[in-house]
Chain A
Amino acid sequence: MKRKYGFLRLTVILLLLCLTAAAVAQGAGKPVTITMLQPGLEQPNMKQATQKQIDQFEKENPNIKVELITVGWDQAYDKLVNMFQTKTAPDVIYTGTRWVVPFANMKGILPLNKYFPKSKMQQFPKPLMDSEISGGKIYGVPHAFSSKVLFYRSDWIKEPPKTWNELIETAQKVQKEHPGVYGYGAAGAKHVSTTDQFFNVLFSFGGKVFDRSGKCVLNSPQGERALKLYAGFHLDAKIVPSPLEYNREQLPILFKQGKIAMFECGPWAGRMMGLKPDNTEVPYKMALLPAGTEQHCILNSDSLVVSANSKNPAAAWKLIDYLTTLDVQAEYDRDHGLTPILIEEAKMPEFKDDPYFGIFIKAIDNGLPQPQPAIWEPFQDIIANMVQEAFQGVSPKAALAKAVKLIKEQQLEPRR
């Protein structure tokens, strides 16, 4: 009798197990649709490259459909904050890394520690990974990366400047020899690139925006020296065209038109100009950014994150994981003209031995991450205003003091 019931019990358990397995299998096989938002895809030839990779992902993962949507970079931040508020954010978001910590603080995005293996994290340069961390948790995967170098007219400038003082001398020499040409182009418009370009000078004098405790220390002697030099490009040396009108993305155009002889930018500048370095019309070369007391360059990246309201975070992660595998990432960087982001990718001969990309890879060695204020956008406004005031002749000391005061008043110092 006991044996009979034991057999029956075993049969019931097996049956339940089979049913559960079938349900799991069915669940696993159930097609899901996730949405991915990538800003800036309205630009020519931008959408195709991402869409091609998504098509390939869908082919390899037939149960996951990806709907790709876009918005202009100018509206991306507003749109995403609104989406977080209304819990309508897409599953996967391509975002500027500068927004990752603020989005994490807003609880708009998910921590990825559960999905993101250490072995994968180690594939990225450390400064980039540091920018993805908030409160000890990791929120994003770096996806698009740029170091910055100095582009210069190789037919006008034989030896690229190694220090900022040399840059001024070189620029003035070019202006003397080529009337109507400005020696250098600097960003001063209300744009993220104005903060980046100023920080490149600041870092080169050993300056910092926030100290280890998170206190804003921008108004240091180094900060004053950096802002004096940056504003001096326009006020004293007169080597830049109306800086308040231009952001970094407009400088390659001025360069191509022969209006400036040097500018700093990421690797996409070549693609923007549509010119190879050895062209005969506007021949150019690249060099590391000039040094102050030390040589540095800011490392910017965009990241992939998973929205906190995603109903399919596992599928979202699967897409992120796929897009950041070595081959797919390398293809993305090639298509978009970006600095190779993965350490292994940078060792690939097609990047390392490429005369164009080589210098960008070299620039990573002295790269420093972007500052991480509590919220980026008002911080960017304050820094851009500070730079603009300095360009208008306000003393660097006063402009820096005002910026620090506003950063404190608006509680923008990073939370540690």
Chain B
Amino acid sequence: MRDSYPAGLPKHDLRRMISPEYSPLCYLAGALLILAVFVAYPILRVLYMSLMHNVLTRPDQGIYFVGLGNFLSLLQNADFLMAFQRTVWWTLLSVAGKTVIGFIIALLLVNITRGKKLFIFLLFIPWVTPNVVGAITWRWIFDGQFGMLNWLLLQLQLISQPISWLSSNFYSFLFTALVDVWVGVPFMAIVFMGGLQMVSQEILESADMDGAGYFKKLFYIKLPVIRPIVLVATTLSAIWTFNSFQIIWPLTRGGPVSATETLIIKAYRLAFGSFDIGMGSAVAVIIFLVLLAFSAFYNQKLSETD
């Protein structure tokens, strides 16, 4: 067989390109096909739809090309800009919460020797609980009339009458982020714990001998060592949080009014509430671009870590 492909065959010759011996194309074809069908096509389709006016429930309005019209409308729309801003704040709040709590838990876990497995098992419960189940459970906890939170605060006499938490713009924003923190903490804690275990005991012992206290060791040894891990974990978490739908939707559906309407909720409402596929796709493309930027940052940090 090899004889039929002389070594001098031009690089871009079709026979060479499809040859299982000279070209990797045959081996990659299956994976490329899957990626093309399940990744490239949907993305290209959404990009295409974002340039169209297409409201499924309004065939009378017709389907036509609007170019960047949908994007321009969004950028001039105060509600959309508010949703964008809200998404950024919500993501920052949630990621900050996950990072700080996750790091504290990791610090506590890395130092214990007895019952570590039990703690890790308990820690994983929010992570393995289906998000929707978790969110519905929390909705009952926050319920204004029957909720456990109100009951507890009333018992402790911290409030004099039940508070309707999810009816308030402030509390609904805060509590949806808190539930997202609850779901995301285990991942962060485990990743940070892995990082902390990498910190050399010898360096820590040397620091002890030099008289460094707990916080000095934390800020001057542990944190610098696990910095790349923190960066990668928070970037990943930011990508997931920015796109978090499964917490907000069952808890508040973006309400009250639009207090918890993040971009992903807006995209869903536009695409599957109003069936405005053009505008829904435009919001999805904007989310895609933001996440692409996050991903580029993540890749850069990952390569720095390597």
B-binding residues in A (CB < 8 A): 78, 81, 85, 102, 105-107, 188-190, 241-245, 254, 259, 374-375, 377-378, 381, 385, 388-389, 391-392, 410-411, 415
Contacts and interface: CB of A to CB of B under 8 A. Distances in A.
12 contacts: A81-B57, A85-B56, A106-B56, A106-B59, A242-B145, A242-B164, A374-B58, A375-B57, A375-B274, A381-B273, A385-B255, A391-B167
Contacts of B58: 105, 374-375, 411
A102 B57 contact: yes
Given A245-B164, A385-B257, A392-B257, A378 B56 contact: no
Interface of B: 56-61, 143-145, 162, 164, 166-167, 169, 253, 255-258, 269, 272-275
Contacts of B169: 392
B275 to A, nearest CB: 6
B225 to A, nearest CB: 48
- Nearest first, the 9 A-B pairs at minimum CB distance are A242-B164, A244-B167, A242-B144, A378-B274, A388-B257, A244-B256, A242-B167, A388-B256, A245-B144
Contacts of A241: 144-145, 164
Nearest to B269: A381
A389 B255 CA distance: 10
Most buried by A among B169, B253, B258, B274: B274
Given A241-B145, A245-B144, 19 more contacts: A105-B60, A106-B57, A106-B59, A188-B167, A241-B164, A242-B145, A242-B162, A242-B167, A244-B256, A375-B274, A381-B269, A385-B258, A388-B255, A392-B169, A392-B256, A392-B257, A411-B58, A411-B61, A415-B60
A78 B166 contact: no
Contact of B59 (A78, A105, A242, A415): A105
A159 B59 CA distance: 52
Most buried by A among B61, B167, B255: B167
A242 B162 CA distance: 9
Contact of A81 (B56, B144, B166): B56
A241 B166 CA distance: 13
Contacts of B273: 377-378, 381
A61 to B, nearest CB: 34
Contacts of A378: 273-274
A2 B273 CA distance: 74
A191 to B, nearest CB: 10
Contacts of A415: 60
Most buried by A among B61, B256, B269: B256
Given A378-B274, A385-B258, A244 B166 contact: yes
B253 A190 contact: yes
A411 B60 CA distance: 11
Nearest to A385: B257
Contacts of B272: 78
Nearest to A245: B144
A246 to B, nearest CB: 9
A308 to B, nearest CB: 12
Contacts of B60: 105, 415
Given A85-B56, A254-B145, A377 B256 contact: no
B2 to A, nearest CB: 51
A381 B61 CA distance: 21
Contacts of A243: 167
B274 A410 contact: yes
A189 B272 CA distance: 19
Contacts of A375: 57-58, 274
Contacts of A102: 57
A377 B59 contact: no
Nearest to B274: A378
A106 B54 CA distance: 13
A404 to B, nearest CB: 16
A389 B259 CA distance: 11
Most buried by B among A85, A245, A391, A411: A245
Contacts of B145: 241-242, 245, 254, 259
A376 to B, nearest CB: 9
Contacts of A381: 269, 273
B57 A107 contact: no
Contacts of B269: 381
Contacts of B255: 189-190, 244, 385, 388
Contacts of A245: 143-145, 164, 166-167
B257 A389 contact: yes
B105 to A, nearest CB: 32
A159 B212 CA distance: 79
Nearest to B255: A190
A285 to B, nearest CB: 24
Given A254-B145, A377-B274, A378-B274, A244 B164 contact: yes
A184 to B, nearest CB: 14
A309 B269 CA distance: 27
A259 B256 CA distance: 23
B58 to A, nearest CB: 7
A190 B144 CA distance: 16
B73 to A, nearest CB: 10
Nearest to B273: A377
Contacts of A78: 272
A107 B59 contact: yes
A81 B256 contact: no
Nearest to B55: A375
Contacts of B143: 245
Contacts of B167: 188, 242-245, 391
A392 B257 CA distance: 9
Contacts of B164: 241-242, 244-245
A315 B258 CA distance: 45
A408 B260 CA distance: 25
A187 to B, nearest CB: 13
A410 B162 CA distance: 38
Contacts of B144: 241-242, 245
Nearest to B59: A106
Contacts of B59: 105-107
Contacts of A107: 59
A81 B145 CA distance: 36
A320 to B, nearest CB: 24
A251 B272 CA distance: 28
Most buried by A among B60, B61, B143: B60
